[in-house]
Every structure is written in structure tokens, then in C-alpha cells.
Chain A
Amino acid sequence: MQGFLTTAPFTILSLPLLGTIFIALVGPRVHRSVSAVIGNLSILGAFVLTAMLAWTVWHLPPDAQVVTVKYPPAWAAHPVFWAHIPPLTISFEMRIDALALLWMLIITGVGFLIHLYSVGYMADSHGYRTFFAYMNLFVFMMLLLVMAGNFLWLLVGWGGVGLASYLLIGFDAQRTAAVLAARKALIMNVIGDVGIMVAIFLMYAHFGSLSYKEVFGNVSAANTNALDWIGIWLLLGAVAKSAQLPLQTWLPDAMEGPTPVSALIHAATMVTAGVYLIARAHPIYDHAPFAAMTVAVIGCATAFFAATVGTVQYDIKRVLAYSTMSQIGYMILAVGVGAYAAGTFHFITHAFFKALLFMAAGIVIHNLDGEQDVRKMGGLAKRMPLAFWTFLIGTLAISGIPPFAGFFSKDAIFDQLLTHGHPVLWAFAVATALLTAYYMFRLLFLTFLSGDYRGTREPHAASSTSMAVPTSILAVLSVIGGWLVLPGHDAISAKLEPVFAGALPEMGGINAMVTGIAIAAALVGIAVAWALYGRASQARTKLRTVLSPLRALLLNAYYFDTIYHWLFEVPALTVASDVARYVEPDGVGGFTSGVAGATTKIGDVMRSWETGYLRRYGLTMVIGMVLVLAFYLYLVHGAAAVGMK
């Protein structure tokens, strides 16, 4: 038992990494399908092992359910550390508990389904092998992030998923838009990395360690002010990674990546790392009320902000990107107010239905040869029934219609917002739910219903089995995934109990009024979407004219990109190019140029020496050495002679 607990985490981690290495080294020499098979099998293997590990851990007594796997073990004669500059010691350390396990299950489980989907989706790509190598690398880094036992390894995984995300957004490297989007994503993520670094520096200053165990164990002894700062800096990392205000602008652009990438990295897993981070660092936030409140407010603001922007977009993947941002806003809001189980629950259901939505959208895009503009779609329900029905299930789930998955997790968040005493945040959350139902059904109508097909390209008919199967599985999960938490039966909180030391209020109780308002809001949203987009409508054109200033604001996502461009990008690049072009050569370098100019004449004399014969150079070297020696001896003895000694 103990053996399995220590070996399984390493095996789970190494499988995707070995997959990457194998594809990179052997892949080019064998048939491309080998890379796909290896990529899929390694993730499937990791999933099976994770399930076994979870089963094992959850059968331990509750107080033994937090497993720390640490290298070096305490008895090691020659301990091995990641860094060892006493007093700073950083171990190779993993922490396997329910929080990590839930994330691992989703990463490997949904990750495997998306790998499977990619077999068909990427079939025409000439970078087929590279794609699977990158995807495996991503899964490895993401697992590292959630399995880490100290903040250093969390940061390594954190940076690593940033790299994988960068590589996959810019996967189609020939397209300038993809290259620019990749750059933007990495730069914003590095800003977040710096945030986590500062938080780590502060933790080291206050706790003398980076290990979860040491830091969280001593939290109650630290002062609130310090913890608030640590919490705020950690939040910067979370905000950048999870595309929350004000570092959200990279996510819509990240949709330049292939659709499976958007599903896995920019919907189901990586972008939720911020939620994981805050849930993981819960002892800090529990003792840092200001930081926790900031987390909640940012999450709530992002949820609402992104939902408003989503109402007017026409690019099917961009709408889904804004909805991801908005749903992660819910999760951040939940963990910010201390509803850790509800946030985790929403992460799980969101992984199901958002991956499903991207996959269904991917089928549409694939069959339309890459078309993403919903204005050129319409009436596709009959032509792509699988895509339509699965998209419908995903839409119902995200809109919070019972009994689909999203209903339960959203309801848990709404409920806990009120029980924790945040009516204002709750009001915004409900308004967001209304908007969510509206823009998702608007998207559904525009794509699949709403009259006839408006595009010019003739859609392909069928989709491949490798795409259909995982999509269907996720559709089922998007229906039943929410049943993990039913009245009187709360699987999530029960599992998470040992991690959060009993600080979790029970989910699953149905408060009739709260639930009723949430469902009513969703239904209103759907009704409005139906009225405006369900069929040909005059009201739509009228509204568009009346609300045109607001619409422009939303179409441009509140002009964040423009503002950042003029506020940061332009000044920074102007200063930089001025430094490189003027300051450096004329200012700092001016002095040398003067000196060098004066010596050009000497250079002219010397030119006659450069005859290209080594003898001459050898001679020069010898003369030089002699001169240096002579000069030196002269100075030493000269100095002595003038009595400096």
C-alpha cells in the first residue's frame, strides 16, 4: 500500500513526459499514427493510475488522506535537494490529497478524451506528431502543477503550462495572428509568474520555507498584513493564468490555437489553475480577509464583465472564450468567499461542459473548413445532428438548467454566496447567469437554427469516430456530472473534508428561493435569446441601432486591448527602440566612439601588420606579452622605487 502511494505519483507524472520524449526522438522515424497512439495511451495510462491512486487514498482513514511524497526521504544518507543553499532548502516534494486528485482526474480524464478527439481533428495537419508531443508536455506540466508539494514545484508547473500554452497557441506558426497571440499569452503569463515569485519571496521571508506543510502550518502565527500581501501577489499569478481582470486580454486571442487546444488548455484545465492556486493556498486566504475579499471581487467582476462582452461577439470560439472567462470568474468568486468545495465542483462540471462545447464547435469548424464566424453559419442542426445535440446539452449545462451539470455547481455557489453574507456579489452572479443563458442560446440559435445556412462553403457531412466518441462521452458527463452533489449526498465536500479541515459548509441543500431565482434568470435569458435570434426578428435591428454605443463598447471588449496598447506597449517599445537607436550609440557609446575614433589612426598604422600570416600574429602576441610584462615589472619596481611601499 505504502509502496503504491509513493510510486504511483511518479509513474503518473512520468507517463506523459515519456510520451513527449518518445514522440520527439522516435516519432519522426516511424509512422505518424504511432505518435498519436503513444500520446493517447500515455494519458490513458495516467488516468487509470490516477483513478487507482484516488481509490486508494479515499479508502485511507480521513486523517491519512493527505499524502506527502518527499525526496529525499528522511532516512537518506545523502539527501538530494532541488536547491540546497542553507538555510534555503527546497525538496523534490509532492502532495497528493483530494484537491490534487480531483484536478488530476480531470486533467488526465478530460485530457485523454481531448487527445482522442485530436486524432481526428488534427488528421490533416502536417505538424501531427509535434502536436501530440506538445499536448503530452502540457499534461505533464499541468500534473506537476497540481501534484507539487511546495511552491517551487508549483511554479515550475505554472511556467511549464505557460510554455505549452504558448507553443500550442502558436502551433500554426506560419500565421502571424497565431504568433502574436502566443506572444501575448506568454508575456501576460510571465507577469503572473512574477507575482507568484514575489509571493514566494515573502513566504520565505516569513516562514523560512516554501513547503506547503511548513507554510500552511505556521500561517496562524504570521500577521494578517503579511498574509494579505502574500495573498495579493498570489492572486496576480492566478489572475494572469485564469484570464481574470485586468490580465484577461490574452484568452480571446488564444483561440488562434487549434480547437482541441482551446478545449483542453484554455477551457478545461490550465486556465482553472488560478482557482486551484487559491484553493490550495486556502490557509493563507483564511487568515487574510482583505486578500480573500479582493479575490472574490475580481472573480465576480470578471464573471459579469466577460458575460456582457460575450453577448455581442460573432466568432464562435471567442464567445466560448468569454464564457470560459466568465465561468472561471464564478470559481474565483467561490474560492474567494471561502466556498472551496463549490469552486472545485464548478471546476469539474465546467471541465465537462466547456470541453464539450469546444468539441462540438470544433466539429462545426472542422466541417466548414475552418469557418468560425456564426454569421456565416445557421441552420446547421440538420446537417450536423451530433454537433447540434451535444452543443445543446453543453448550452443547457452552462446555462444552469436542471438536471444538467452546471445547474448544481452554480446553485452551490449562489447558495454559499448568500450563506457567507455577500448579497451584492450574489446579485451580480445571478445577473451573470441571465447573461450567460442569453449569449449561449444566441450562439446556439445563430449556429444551428435561425433560418437556413448562410455560408458559401459547402459543409462536409460526417465527422470521424475519434471525434464523435469523446464528444458523446462528455455530453453524458455534462448531464450526469452534477449529480455528484445532490441533497443529502455531497460527494465533493466529503472528499475535500480532510484538505480543508472541516471548514466546508455542506453543498447540495436546495434553497427553494435561491434556486428558483437562478432558474428564472436563466429562463429569462433563454427567452430573450429566442425572441431575438430564434427566428427572423425586426426587434434585433432596432435594438442594435438604439444600443449602438453600448454595442461598440462590448464588441471591443471595453477597449482593454486598445488601452493597453497605448498605455504600455507603445511607450515601452518607443523608449526601447530610442535607447537602441539613439541613446546607446550617441550617448553611452559616444565616449567610446570618440576614443575609438582617435585610435583609428593607430589602426591605419597597424593595418600593414594584418597580412594574414600567422607568423606575424604569433610575433604580435609575443611582443604583446613582453610589453605587458615589461610594463608590469616597470610599474611594480617603479612603485617601489618611489617609495609607495
Chain B
Amino acid sequence: MLIDTVIFLPLLTALVLLLIPRAATSVQKGVALAGALLTFAFSLAFLSLGPNVAADQTIPWISGPWVAAYHVRVDALRLFFVLLTTLVSVACIWAAFSYAHAQRLRGYLCLLLAFETTLLGLFTAADLLLFYLYWDLMLIPVFLLLTGFADHPGARQAAWSYLIYNGAGGLALLLGIVALVSQSHTFELGTLALRLTGPAEAWIFIAFALAFLIKTPAFPFHSWMPPTYTSAPPPVVAMVSGVQSKAGLFAMLAFALPLFPHAAHAFALPLLVLAVASVVYGAIAAMGEQDMKTLVAFSSLSHLGLVWLAFFAFDITSVSAGILMLVSHGLIAAALFLLLGFIEERVGTRDLSRFGGLAEKAPRLGVMMLIAAMAALGLPGLSGFAGEFLILIGSWQTQPVFTSIALVAVVLACVYMLKLLQGTMHGPVRVPDERTVSEMRPREAWLLAPLLAGIIFLGVWPGWFNDRTPSGTGANTIVGAVLAEPGQR
């Protein structure tokens, strides 16, 4: 019951919103935020599960010829993805209050809430059919938000780019699932214990991996990302980069690696190459970027590339730290994109060469930007470092060469994050068109505070996170299953 409540409360809130008159924006805001907050509050209850207990619910759905069930589950692997979704959603829905067109606010909030439900559905689905449904449903709210609610001139083209790319990925995933189910006759993961071998396993794994590489994205499948991230309204991009970008890597760990262990090991090398290419290419592109949102978009490419490295290094530390990195990156990316939204609202441009020195006018904005940027550049003591360090110490043990190349990006991250931080906040005050830069409003500060608190907490005590996620201990077999040599299984 709790799982259903958490998954569908946002959607229910969205439906309630539709009953509220279009003009009553303050009521809409109250209802939307209350819905998001309640969802978050309910999702916190999963924390009491303990590392080896899962909240699990199965309703039979299709009995033949292919068995499928409405099977949802919150376990140690899924817990923090659920929490990340509900937490980031609260911040994003709150941030959406400043949406410029009051007439369309209702639709905007509805779509954000619907997006939250699809994300929660995706992270809790334990049945491949259900998983696939959410995987494609996710595209719809984002597409509509981009085409209908973004003021950016390039948003329409970005929306199509997003839809086509991710649709293609979805198609690959679908073909993979179909091929898989044609052999297993069931979508149920628990019974999907078949061991495929040979070309079938390889091809299905490739189909899965392709979908996940596009969704994350990883080099060279990322070209939908810069336009989407740049033109989407800040709350949307915060949800896409903060939460949705984790879908591919989450699914890799939850589905693909346990299902196709032989293929995963066989294709580790090309995937490691793509991982490190993402890490380095993203960092270089971010260094050269003048548009602050595109800069952070490329930094995401770089940071998530590190998680690909973590998973395909097949070291227990790096795989487990990869989960930490995903959650940490979710918090950091959401915080950064929301902050950039506040900045763009104040100066009316994203071009780093056209403004600067905002910390002088808005010191609190400066401090929050400092924390977020320092976390992104991997300052020890913040969550970005914890994820990065634990990944690299693990991957070094099995893949020292790839890890060394990835280490170069640590230095580059410092270069581009300082470019962002100093370009926006420090130096002489420069603001285009005589705009007045105001200090952060309390709403803006409060909606960011939980994200920043999470960044600091996970940086100071990642062990708390380790003990609640699969880290090779207890009955958490996921990481163990991933790591076991295929021959010994």
C-alpha cells in the first residue's frame, strides 16, 4: 500500500489540480507543493526497512502466454532512487512557482507531478513489462513540457531531438525485451533466472545497453542532451538531469547486469572506453562552453561517465560507490540547474561573458553556488568527492589504466567548475541592461536547502548510505551477483 501511495500520490495531486480553476494560482501552488511534500514524507518511511528487507507487492496481470505482473518493489537498491525522486521533485515543484505565465501554471505543475509518478514507477518496477511502460511514458511529460512550456526559442527542436533519440533507445529496449521474453515467457524478474548464452545474450545485452547509454547519456549518444538541458525550464532540467538521467544506469544495475552477466563481462572493454570517453570529452566540452547551462550539461556527461566506469570495472567498491555517485550527482545537478535558473531569472542571459560578480549583490546565492560547485568539482567532505573517490579507489584495483585517464578529468572538473563559479559570482559586478540583481528570496533558499544538506551529509558520512544500499554485505545479492565470475554461477 505504501508503495502505491508513494507512486501515485503525485499523479493524484495532478488530477486534483485539474479541478482547480485556472485563475486560482495560489491554491494550485499550495496543492501541488503539499502533494509533493506528502509524497516525500511517505517515501521516508522506506528508510525504516533496513538493508535486507524489501517492500514488495505483486498483482497478477497477464497469465499467458507470457506471464507479467504488476510487481513493484522498494529494496536497498531502489530505496535511494525513490528518495532522490521525491526530494528533487519537491524542490522542482516549489521552484516552478516562479513560472512566468500564470495562465499555464496549472498545466505546468500537472506535468511535473505526472513526470514524478513515471519516475517513481520506473524506479520501483520489478517486472520488465512495467519497467518498459514507464521507460517510454517518461518521455511524454518531458516532451510536452519542452514544446508547450519552455520560452526558449530552440525548445521545440530540442523536444524532437529528445523524443527521437530516447524513442530510438526505447525501441532498442523493447526489441531486447521482446527477444528475451520470447525465450523466457515471463516478464517477472524473479523467475527470469534463465541463463542465456551465446549470440542471443550478446544481442539482447547490446539492445539494453544502447537504450541505457542514450538515456544517461554517454558519449557519443549525448547530442540530445545539450539542447534539451539548455532550453528546458530550470525545474524540468533539474528533474531530467537530477533524476531521469539515473534511469539508464539504475536499470543497468537492476536488470541488465544480473540478467546478462556473460555479455556484460564480454562487452566491458568497449563500455569502459565509452565511459572514459564521456568523462574526458564531457570535461573538455564543459571547459570550452560559454553558456552556463550547457556547461553544467557537459559536466553531467562527465560525471555520469564515471558511473559507467564504476559498474564495468566490476569491483565491489566501485559498483556500490556508483550508486552513491548517482544519488550524489542527482542532488548536485538538481541544485546547480535550479541555481542557474535563479541566476538567469535575474540577469536574463546564460552567456558567461555577459555578466558576473553576482555574489556582491546576492551573497546568499553566492554561498549556495559555492557549495554546489565545490561538490561538483569533488571537494573532499562533500558528496561528489565521496562518490568519486570510492569509485576510483575501487576501479583502480581492476582497471588502473582507465582510472588514470578518468583522474585527469578531476583536474579538468576544477577548471570548468571554477569557470562557472567565478564567471557567475566573482570578479567585478557586470549585469546586462541595468538589471537589478536581488538577493535570494526565502522560497529559493529554502527549496535548495534540503538538496545542499543532502550533499553535505553524504559527503561527511557516506558510510550511512553504504549501510543502506547494496554494498556486498548481507542478503544484498545484486552487487554480489554482478561481480561473481560468470563461470562460477
Chain A residues in contact with chain B, CB under 8 A?
80-88, 90, 152, 155-160, 162-163, 170, 173-174, 176, 179, 182-183, 186-187, 190-191, 193-194, 197-198, 200-201, 204-205, 572-573, 575-581, 583-584, 588-589, 591-593, 595-596, 599-600, 602-603, 606-607, 610, 612, 614, 617-618, 620-621, 624-625, 628-629, 632, 635-636, 639-640, 644-645
* B-chain residues with CB within 8 Å of residue A629 when the two chains form the complex: 133
A591–B183 CA distance with the chains assembled, in angstroms: 35
Measured in the bound complex, the distance between the Cα atoms of B471 and A223 in whole Å is: 31
- CA A624 – CA B359 in complex, angstroms? 45
Check B461–A639 contact: CB distance below 8 A. no
B407 at the A interface (CB under 8 A): yes
User: B182 in the interface, Cβ–Cβ < 8 Å?
Assistant: yes
In Å, the complex CA distance between A596 and B157 comes to 6
Which of B104, B181, B226, B418 contacts A183, CB < 8 Å? B418
Say yes or no: A85 contacts B223, CB within 8 Å.
no
Tell me what chain B mostly uses at the interface: helix, strand, loop, or mixed.
helix
Please give, as numbers and ranges, the residues of chain A lying within 8 Å of B404 by CB-CB distance.
198
Give CA–CA (A183, B289) in the complex, Å. Answer: 17
Does B410 touch A at the CB level, under 8 Å? yes
Given A173-B359, A204-B397, do A576 and B392 touch, yes or no (CB 8 Å)?
no
Query: Could you say which residues of chain A place their CB within 8 Å of the CB of B403?
Result: 201
Ordered by A's residue number, 15 sampled pairs between the chains whose C-beta atoms are within 8 Å are: A85-B472, A88-B394, A163-B374, A174-B429, A182-B426, A194-B407, A204-B393, A576-B286, A580-B289, A583-B285, A588-B222, A591-B223, A592-B223, A640-B182, A644-B179
A588–B282 alpha-carbon span in the complex (Å): 12
Cα A635 to Cα B66 with chains together (Å): 13
Task: Tell yes or no: B486 within 8 A of A by CB.
Answer: no
Q: With A88-B394, A591-B223 known to touch, is A159 a contact of B287 (CB < 8 Å)? A: no
Report, as a range, how many residues of chain B touch the other chain. 35 or more
- Structural contact, B317 and A85, CB atoms closer than 8 A: yes
Shortest distance from the beta carbon of A626 to any chain B beta carbon, whole Å: 11
Q: How far is the CA of A157 from the CA of B404 in the complex (A)?
A: 23
Most B Cβ at <10 Å: residue of A159, A170, A182: A159
Q: Is B49 an interface residue (CB 8 A)?
A: no
Q: Is the CB of A603 within 8 A of B140?
A: no
B427 at the interface (CB under 8 A from A): yes
Chain B residues lying within 8 Å of A190, measured Cβ to Cβ, are 377, 410-411, 414
Q: Report chain A residues within 8 Å CB of B289.
A: 580
> With contacts A88-B317, A617-B111, A645-B183 known, is A83 near B148, CB below 8 A?
no
Q: Are A174 and B466 interface neighbours, CB within 8 A?
A: no
Residues of B within 8 A of A632 (CB): 132-133, 174
A173, B360: Cβ atoms closer than 8 Å: yes
Chain A residues, Cβ within 8 Å of B104:
612
| Chain B, Cβ-Cβ closest to A195 | B407
Other-chain residue from A163, A588, A607 in contact with B220 (beta carbon distance below 8 A): A588
| Residues A159 and B223 in contact in the complex (CB < 8 Å), given A80-B463, A576-B288, A596-B161 | no
User: Looking across the interface, which residue of chain A has its beta carbon closest to that of B462?
Assistant: A83
Task: Give B406-445 as 1s and 0s: 1 = Cβ < 8 Å from A's Cβ atoms.
Answer: 0100110011001000100111110000000000000000
Closest B residue by C-beta to A178 = B426
Task: Report the Cα distance A173→B370, complex, angstroms.
Answer: 13
Give me 18 other A-B pairs in contact (C-beta within 8 A), A84-B471, A592-B223 excluded: A80-B464, A81-B466, A85-B317, A85-B390, A85-B466, A155-B389, A174-B357, A187-B414, A201-B392, A201-B393, A572-B415, A576-B284, A576-B288, A580-B285, A617-B111, A618-B18, A621-B144, A639-B179
Nearest opposing residue in chain B for A595, CB measure:
B164
Bound state CA distance, A257 and B377, in angstroms? 23
| Cross-chain contact A595 with B140 (CB below 8 angstroms) | no
Asked if B161 contacts A644 (CB within 8 A), the reply is no
Check A639 against B178 for contact (C-beta < 8 Å).
Answer: yes
Contact A645 B182 (CB under 8 A): yes
Given contacts A614-B106, A632-B174, contact A86 B288 (CB under 8 A): no
Please state if A584 and B462 are interface contacts (CB–CB under 8 Å). Answer: no
Q: Report the minimal beta-carbon distance from A241 to chain B, rounded to whole angstroms.
A: 13
Give the shortest distance, in Å, between B285 (CB) and chain A (any CB): 5
- The interface residues of chain A lying within 8 Å CB-to-CB of B183 are 645
Residues on A with beta carbons closer than 8 Å to the beta carbon of B407: 194, 197-198
Q: Is B98 located at the chain interface by the 8 A CB criterion? A: no
B110: Cβ under 8 A from any A Cβ: yes
CA distance A85 to B320 in the complex (A): 7
Q: Does B206 contact A (CB under 8 A)?
A: no
Nearest Cβ in chain B — how far from A339, in angstroms? 30
Q: Taking CB as reference atom, which chain A residue is nearest B110?
A: A614
In the A-B complex, the 5 residue pairs with the closest CB atoms: A576-B288, A580-B288, A159-B380, A576-B287, A577-B288
**CB-based contact B288/A197 at 8 Å:** no
Task: Find out whether the CB atom of A610 lies under 8 angstroms from the CB atom of B147.
Answer: yes
Contact check, B288 vs A573: say whether CB atoms are below 8 A apart. yes
Roughly how many angstroms separate A617 CA and B30 CA in the complex, as a whole number? 23
CB atoms of A200 and B393 under 8 A apart: yes
Is B247 engaged at the interface, CB distance under 8 Å to the other chain?
no
B286: A residues at CB distance < 8 A: 576
